[in-house]
């Protein structure tokens, strides 16, 4: 039994999703690089006060499952205050690979001490320095791939931290384009902030938070209903990459999914896959999780 009229919940769901879509539109229209404007390699999402995703745009699927990890990493590492915007691209803090830079902004509303929401915008930057231009150079270590950004405040109280920005721009081949794309990401987050503040003002913060919680409960019920209809058993597949980029040995990828419809669970197991290789072809936990997440979504 839900706490809200189904129509009211559906309207709220569409409203939060439209926030993520509008963020994406703002990012695409204000970005400098074709990578974002034309190839549309970006994603925007809305999170509740605990960092759980409640709305995602129809953007890059492989970004969406990992973005909550980046939000959690930023929130845990930084004391985010009004006007702040965090930046990070660390693959070991919810990132995918170094060119995917994420911005996280806390959304504060009247009557609540801490953030009511978080919004995030992730975009693939055409260059982040490193040994080779682009994003898939033949590198042995992550340090060769480009600048690695741990969670940091790019914007503090509405003012850009010039030292952090300069450190990023001094380590890339196309600083003007990078600066424009970073500014576009901040702007997209500001759009999300404004729209969520309007939404909270319209419904009141207490009701808004209850609607967010109900959305999460509803999505859980939908997933469990789907899992209950799956056939019991374990299903497996394997494939191969030609090589790690340096040698000629194929790289094995194994995956099995064990469905338990009675318990309404599914377990994804990559046991049997090749060990990590000595190149940039490895997949960190965040992107592995994100790929599996997208299949179920």
Taking only the tens place, the pLDDT of each residue in 209-247 is 999 999 999 999 999 999 999 999 999 999 999 999 999
Length of the chain: 297
Q: Is 285 domain-assigned?
A: yes
| Residue 73: HSE in the Cβ half-sphere, 13 Å Cα cutoff | 23
Same domain? 133 vs 175: yes
> In angstroms, what CA-CA distances link 270 with 54, 239, 290?
28, 12, 14
- Are 141 and 97 in the same domain? yes
Determine the pLDDT at residue 115.
98
Same domain, 76 and 145: yes
Residues 247 and 211 in one domain: no
Mean pLDDT rounded to a whole number for the chain:
95
Residues 200 and 150 in one domain: yes
Per-residue pLDDT tens for 17-59? Answer: 999 999 999 999 999 999 999 999 999 999 999 999 999 998 8
Among candidate residues 177, 200, 219, the one where a domain is terminated: 219
Q: What is the pLDDT of residue 3?
A: 66
Q: Do residues 187 and 238 both lie within one domain?
A: no
In the listed set 188, 219, 250, which residue is the last one of a domain according to the structure? 219
Residue 129 and residue 71 in one domain: yes
199 falls within a domain: yes
According to the model, what pLDDT value does residue 99 have?
A: 96
| pLDDT at residue 1, rounded to an integer | 44
**Is 145 found in the same domain as 91?**
yes
Distance of CA 192 to the CA centre of its chain: 15
Strand-pairing partners, residue 103, are 87, 121
Give the end of a domain, one of 156, 191, 219: 219
Q: Does residue 144 fall inside a structural domain?
A: yes
- Residue 129, pLDDT score: 95
Per the listing, tokens 């419809």 go with: 261
Q: Is residue 206 very low, low, confident or very high in pLDDT (cuts 50, 70, 90)? A: very high
pLDDT over threshold 60, residue 8: yes
Q: How confident is the model at residue 4 (pLDDT cuts 50, 70, 90)?
A: confident
Say yes or no: 106 and 157 in one domain. Answer: yes
Whether residue 278 is predicted with pLDDT greater than 70 in this model: the reply is yes
Residue 1: inside a domain = no
Q: What is the pLDDT of residues 68-94, one digit of tens each?
A: 999 999 999 999 999 999 999 999 999
What domain count does the chain have?
2
Q: Mark whether 147 and 202 lie in a shared domain.
A: yes
Distances (CA, A) of 210 to 3, 4, 9, 218, 256: 9, 9, 10, 12, 37
Residue 88 shares a structural domain with residue 127: yes
pLDDT at 185 over 90: yes
**Residue ranges making up the domain that contains 26:** 6-219
Whether residue 131 sits in one domain with residue 56: yes
Q: Which residue has the higher pLDDT, 31 or 280?
A: 31
Task: Write the DSSP string, 120-167.
Answer: EEEEE-S---SSSSSS----SSGGGT-----SEEEEETTEE-HHHHHH
Q: Is residue 158 part of a domain?
A: yes
Alpha helices in the chain (DSSP H): 6-30, 34-37, 61-64, 67-77, 162-169, 175-203, 205-228, 285-296
pLDDT digits (tens, 9 = 90+) for 109-166: 998 889 999 999 999 999 999 999 888 888 999 999 999 999 999 999 999 999 999 9
């Amino acid at each position: 039994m839900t706490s809200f009229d189904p129509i009211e919940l559906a309207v709220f769901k569409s409203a939060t999703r439209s926030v993520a879509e509008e963020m994406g539109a703002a990012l695409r229209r204000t970005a400098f690089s074709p990578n974002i404007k034309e190839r549309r390699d970006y994603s925007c999402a809305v999170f509740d006060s605990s960092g759980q995703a409640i709305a995602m745009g129809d953007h890059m699927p492989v970004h969406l499952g990992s973005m909550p990890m980046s939000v959690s990493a930023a929130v845990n590492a930084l004391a985010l205050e009004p006007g702040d915007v965090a930046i990070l691209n660390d693959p070991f803090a919810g990132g995918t690979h170094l060119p995917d830079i994420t911005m996280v902004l806390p959304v504060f509303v009247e009557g609540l001490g801490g953030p009511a929401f978080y919004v995030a915008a992730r975009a693939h930057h055409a260059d982040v320095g490193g040994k080779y231009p682009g994003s898939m150079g033949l590198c042995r270590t992550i340090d060769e791939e480009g600048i690695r950004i741990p969670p940091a405040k790019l914007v503090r109280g509405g003012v850009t931290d010039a030292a952090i920005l300069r450190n990023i721009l001094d380590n890339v081949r196309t600083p003007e384009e990078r600066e424009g794309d970073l500014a576009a990401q901040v702007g997209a987050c500001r759009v999300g902030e404004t729209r969520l503040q309007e939404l909270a003002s319209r419904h009141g913060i207490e009701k808004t938070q209850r609607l967010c919680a109900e959305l999460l409960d509803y999505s859980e019920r939908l997933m469990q209903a789907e899992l209950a209809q799956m056939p019991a058993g374990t299903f497996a597949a394997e494939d191969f990459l030609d090589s790690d980029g340096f040698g000629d040995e194929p790289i094995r990828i194994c995956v099995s999914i064990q469905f338990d419809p009675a318990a309404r669970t599914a377990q994804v197991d990559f046991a049997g896959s090749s060990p990590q290789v000595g190149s940039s072809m490895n997949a960190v936990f965040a992107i592995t999780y994100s790929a599996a997440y997208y299949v179920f979504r």
